[in-house]
Every structure is written in C-alpha cells, then in structure tokens.
C-alpha cells in the first residue's frame, strides 16, 4: 500500500470516528432540529467519500470488505443533490454503515502496518 493510500485510509477512519462521536446521545430527530449537527455529519460523510475516491485500484482490490462504490456514491449524492438529502439515510449511514466501515479500516490499517 502506498503512503498516500495509508494517509487517505487514516483520513477516512478519523472522519468515521468523528461522525460516530457526534451521534452519541443523539437521535435521528436531532437532524431536523439541529442544522449544525446535520451539517457536521454530512461533512464527515463527504470527507470519507472524497478520501475513498482517491484510493488506488490496487488498495481497493486488497480491501474487498469496503463497499467502495457506495462510499464514493453517497459522497457524490450529498455534494450534487444537496437540496434533496434524506435525513433518515444520513442517520442510517452513520449509525449502521459507519461502525462496520470503522472495523474494516482499523483492520486494514493494522494489518498493512505489518507489511
């Protein structure tokens, strides 16, 4: 894995962890009540997708547990269809998909550090 890919995987993991920390003690209803909370989660998802989009094909192939097209796709959706963002999709992405992505990224960074 290249150094740039390692840095981008780390950026992804940092953004995942921040998004998850933002949701502690919060509910999906808070997304419609607190614009700053909503925008913070959207920004973290965008960072994850942007970094994922810059990962090399070789590294992507070596990490098949990460749904690369979905990760990049949700970023693109948030950027280009910003006026049509479904709050429940943002919430489920953070609370359901990001914990698994965190495990995959942690595993990848741990195993790749011993290569």
Whole-number Å distance between alpha carbons of 35 and 8: 28
Reply yes or no on whether 77 is catalytic: no
Whole-number Å distance between alpha carbons of 21 and 5: 24
Reply yes or no on whether 75 is catalytic: yes
Residue carrying the six token digits 């910003």: 82
Per annotation, catalytic residue among 75, 77, 102, 103: 75
- Residue 24: partners with Cβ closer than 8 Å, 6 or more residues away: none
Per annotation, catalytic residue among 8, 26, 35, 80: 80
Would you name the residues annotated as active-site residues? 75, 80
């Amino acid at each position: 894995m290249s150094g740039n890919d390692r840095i981008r995987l780390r950026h992804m993991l940092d953004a995942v962890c921040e998004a998850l920390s933002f949701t502690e003690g919060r509910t999906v209803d808070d997304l419609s009540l607190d614009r700053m909370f909503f925008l913070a989660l959207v920004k973290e998802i965008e960072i994850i997708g942007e970094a994922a989009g810059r990962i090399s094909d070789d590294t992507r192939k070596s990490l098949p547990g990460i749904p690369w097209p979905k990760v990049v796709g949700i970023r693109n959706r948030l950027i280009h269809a910003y006026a049509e963002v479904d709050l429940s999709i943002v919430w489920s992405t953070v609370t359901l998909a990001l914990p698994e992505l965190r495990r995959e990224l942690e595993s990848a960074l741990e195993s790749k550090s011993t290569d």
